[in-house]
């Protein structure tokens, strides 16, 4: 198997006012355009996955954000329009668990009406643990949701419960995935975070289950997101090792990216039975291709998943700032962006950078 990981050069883009007529976008210091927006709609979740919201930190006494501090759907829509005017083409709703946000279908419906600078509808996607997906899939599809990504970290209840620290069954998640497929939210993607000694023995069972299913399975290296998940480099199963395991059982061939900036490296089964991918943020950093902006639950703009601070947009918005002022804040923040945390971590030799740096925003607050 080849060990080569492809990269795609970023083409510099024009910087301008962001109006649809001018067809202009904004680029950061490393000439990366802003193409994707992830919006965290809640910091709450019905699971306690050890790599995201460990129960010893996010227990019954954890101070989740009060309702008044969350962006309203109207505020999210207003800000989303401004991001789209700067070149955003895809919006992904995340959390926490986004399906816990009451009326999430209304937000999807309003965002699905937005058009990109090229006049095409903005693609609206959603990442979920799928526990509530079976009962909401049809409404989400009817509202205009294009795609859904579900999380599943093992095929057995024992492993899944160890990873999610919950009593939820694998069947509940699979039922949600099946419902999404049934209503046409396809292709459904399933993400599996792999942690050595915990669920890495389920790599082949996961691959075997989703072959010939139409589901795109993606394996994610355990990352040092936030400051509470006890991340160690020893717990990381490198993407190369994952691919070697799969290839030894089900031969795979590398495929080209679907688009510039795609974070998952794609592989097809040689027998045509489907696709798998790996997201190798730890061992094969892809910062140079990252085009993602992130809007937190309480309205802060973050330019990296591993950020320590963000730009407050909610304060000015609620204080009466006009769209032009908010738009300038968005563009100004992105133009100063120089984040490349994963590349710096990968380059560190003595100790992973994640152990040297200060507090980072938790994934449940900023969205995965």
Q: What's the pLDDT at 351?
A: 39
Q: What's the pLDDT at 8?
A: 26
- pLDDT (tens digit per residue) in 342-351: 555 554 433 3
pTM: predicted TM-score of the whole model, two decimal places: 0.86
Q: Which two tokens stand for residue 272?
A: 């045509």
Instruction: Give mean pLDDT in consecutive 10-residue pieces for the chain, a chain of 368 residues.
Output: 33 40 76 95 94 88 94 98 97 96 98 94 97 98 98 97 96 98 96 95 98 97 65 84 97 87 88 94 76 95 85 98 98 88 49 46 66
Q: What's the pLDDT at 183?
A: 98
Q: What's the pLDDT at 157?
A: 97
Q: What's the pLDDT at 342?
A: 56
Q: What's the pLDDT at 364?
A: 65
Q: What's the pLDDT at 349?
A: 34
Q: Which two tokens stand for residue 100?
A: 């816990």
Alpha carbon distances (Å) from 262 to 3, 24, 75, 258, 331:
18, 22, 28, 7, 22
Q: What's the pLDDT at 359?
A: 62
Q: What's the pLDDT at 4?
A: 34
Which runs of consecutive H residues, i.e. helices, occur in 13-90?
A: 73-85
Q: What's the pLDDT at 289?
A: 84
Q: Tell me the HSE value of 169 on the side-chain side, using a 13 A CA sphere.
A: 3
Protein fold of 36-185+289-366:
TIM Barrel (3.20.20)
């Amino acid at each position: 198997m080849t060990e080569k990981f492809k990269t795609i050069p970023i083409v510099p883009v024009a910087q301008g006012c962001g109006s649809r007529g001018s067809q202009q976008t904004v680029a950061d210091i490393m000439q990366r355009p802003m193409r994707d927006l992830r919006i965290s709609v809640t910091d709450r979740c019905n699971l306690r996955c050890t790599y995201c919201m460990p129960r010893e930190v996010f227990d019954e006494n954890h101070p989740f954000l009060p309702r008044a501090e969350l962006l309203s759907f109207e505020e999210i829509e207003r800000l989303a329009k401004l991001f789209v005017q700067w070149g955003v083409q895809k919006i992904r709703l995340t959390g926490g668990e986004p399906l816990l946000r009451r009326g999430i279908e209304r937000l999807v419906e309003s965002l699905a009406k937005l058009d990109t600078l090229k006049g095409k509808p903005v693609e609206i996607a959603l990442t979920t643990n799928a526990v509530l997906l079976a009962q909401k899939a049809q409404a989400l599809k009817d509202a205009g949701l294009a795609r859904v990504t579900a999380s599943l970290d093992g095929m057995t209840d024992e492993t899944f419960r160890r990873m999610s620290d919950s009593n939820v069954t694998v069947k509940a998640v699979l039922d949600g995935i099946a419902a999404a497929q049934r209503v046409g939210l396809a292709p459904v993607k399933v993400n599996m975070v792999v942690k050595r000694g915990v669920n890495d023995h389920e790599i082949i069972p996961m691959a075997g289950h989703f072959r010939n299913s139409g589901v795109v399975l993606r394996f994610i290296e355990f990352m040092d997101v936030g400051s509470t998940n006890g991340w160690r480099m020893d717990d990381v199963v490198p993407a190369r090792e994952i691919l070697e395991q799969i290839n030894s059982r089900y031969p795979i061939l590398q495929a080209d990216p679907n688009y510039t900036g795609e974070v998952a490296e794609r592989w097809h089964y040689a027998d045509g039975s489907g696709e798998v991918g790996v997201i190798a943020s730890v061992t094969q950093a892809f910062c140079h291709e990252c085009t993602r902006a992130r809007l937190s639950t309480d309205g802060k703009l973050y330019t990296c998943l591993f950020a320590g601070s963000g730009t407050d947009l909610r304060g000015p918005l609620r204080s009466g700032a006009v769209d032009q002022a908010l738009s300038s804040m968005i563009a100004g923040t992105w133009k100063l962006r120089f984040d490349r945390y994963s590349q710096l971590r990968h380059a560190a030799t003595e100790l992973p950078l994640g152990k040297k740096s200060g507090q980072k925003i938790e994934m449940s607050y900023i969205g995965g």
